[in-house]
Copies of this chain bind each other. A is one copy, B any other.
Amino acid sequence: MSQKTYHVAVVGATGAVGQQMLNTLKEKNFPVGKLSLLASKRSAGQVIAYNGENYTIQEAAPEAFEGVDLALFSAGGSVSKELAHEAVKRGAIVVDNTSAFRMDPNVPLVVPEVNEHDLKNHNGIIANPNCSTIQMVVALKPLHEKYGLKKVIVSTYQAVSGAGAKAVQELKEQTQSILKDEAFEPSIMPCASDKKHYQIAFNAVPQIDKFQDNGYTFEELKMMNETKKIMHLENLEIAATCVRLPVETGHSESVYAEFEKGTPSVQDIKELLKTAEGVTLQDVPEEQIYPMPALAAGLPDVFVGRIRKDLDRENAIHMWVVSDNLLKGAAYNSVQIAESLIKLGLL
C-alpha cells in the first residue's frame, strides 16, 4: 500500500533550524515526495544532501512555491512576511517558525501536545511558537488541565544557537580568545540587529531580542503573549525574564506556577508529567538527577525536574524545564505540526 507523499519546501534550508528541519523530516520518516530547498539568493546554487540525494538550493521567490504542499519557513520574519502568502496563494500550507504571524488572530499558534485542535482554524498559515514558549507550555499543559493555571513567573537560561550559527561561532571564538587572554570584539550577541554587542563567553546577558517601550524585551513579551494564546488563557498572569548564556544548545527555564484549584503535592505533579505527551521527567534529587542543557541537546523531549512545592503557598510549585531549542523549540515542533495536519486530514 503506497502512502500519500507531499511536496515539501524548506525555506531557510541552510540555517541552523533549516538543517534541523531536514534532520527531523528524515528521522520522523515524514512522507516527503518532492523536496524543494529554498534560501536567500546568496545561498542559491549550494548543494545539500537529504536522505542520500543531493539537492540544489533555489532562491526563495514566489514561483518556487508552485506545486508545493507544505512549506516550512525558517528564514527570518521579513522573508516570511514577503513569501508566506505567496506560498499559500499557490496552494501550500505554511508552517512558519518566525514571529511574523504568531499573534495574528487569523493564524493558529500551535504546539501539538497543547492545542492541536487549533489547526482546524488555519487559513493557510500556521505559526510555530518561540522556542522558549514551546518547552514551557508543554510542561504546563498537564498541570493546567488538572489544577487550572493562575500565575506563571519564568526566568530563562537560553542557549546561543537560538541566535543562529554565527552566534555559536562567536561564542566559540570568544571563549578561545578569553582562555588565551587575547583581545576580542563582540559583533553579534546579544542581538545582531541591535546597536551594542557584548561578551557572551563566561557571561550572562539579560537581553534577548530588542527592548520594547515597557522595558521588557521582545523575547519576554513573546513568551508572555504566546503562552496566553496557545493555552487559551487570556487572563493568565505571566511574567518572563529572558537571559542569554554561554551554552551552545538547550534552553533552561526556572518556572514558578500558581494554580486556581487544588494544592498538588510534588508526587501529584510528577504523576501528571510522567505520562504527559512530549515530557520526560528527570527528577530524583537524592541521586542528583535533574535536566541540564548538556544532556538535552539533540533530543526532542521536554525535560522537567527540580519540582518543589512553594513553601509559602500551598497552591504553587517550582520546576526546571529544559529542551533543545533547535528541536522541540523549532524544527521538531514544526514537523510535528505537519504530522498533525496529516492526521487531521488537513494536508
Residues of A within 8 A of B (CB): 151, 153, 155, 157, 172, 175-176, 179, 190, 194-196, 198-199, 202-207, 211, 214-216, 224, 237-239, 241, 243, 245-248, 250, 252, 254, 256, 266, 285-288, 290-294, 305-313, 318, 320
Can you tell how many copies of this chain the complex includes? 2
Distance of A287 from chain B, by nearest CB (Å): 8
A241 and B254 contact, CB distance less than 8 A: yes
Out of B176, B202, B306, name the residue touching A206 (CB < 8 Å): B306
Closest Cβ neighbor of A199 among chain B residues: B294
* Among A202, A205, A238, A310: residue with most chain B CB under 10 A: A202
Closest Cβ neighbor of A211 among chain B residues: B285
A241 and B196 contact, CB distance less than 8 A: no
Query: Which residues of chain B have C-beta atoms less than 8 A from A266's C-beta?
Result: 215
Closest Cβ neighbor of A205 among chain B residues: B292
A309 and B175 contact, CB distance less than 8 A: no
A198 in contact with B294 given A247-B203, A288-B207 (CB within 8 Å): yes
B206 and A290 contact, CB distance less than 8 A: yes
Out of B153, B247, B292, name the residue touching A256 (CB < 8 Å): B153
A243 and B157 contact, CB distance less than 8 A: yes
- 5 cross-chain CB contacts under 8 A: A153-B153, A202-B294, A214-B311, A238-B312, A245-B245
Closest Cβ neighbor of A313 among chain B residues: B237
A194 and B288 contact, CB distance less than 8 A: yes
A312 in contact with B237 given A198-B292, A292-B198 (CB within 8 Å): yes
Query: Which residues of chain B have C-beta atoms less than 8 A from A248's C-beta?
Result: 202
B204 and A245 contact, CB distance less than 8 A: yes
A288 and B203 contact, CB distance less than 8 A: no
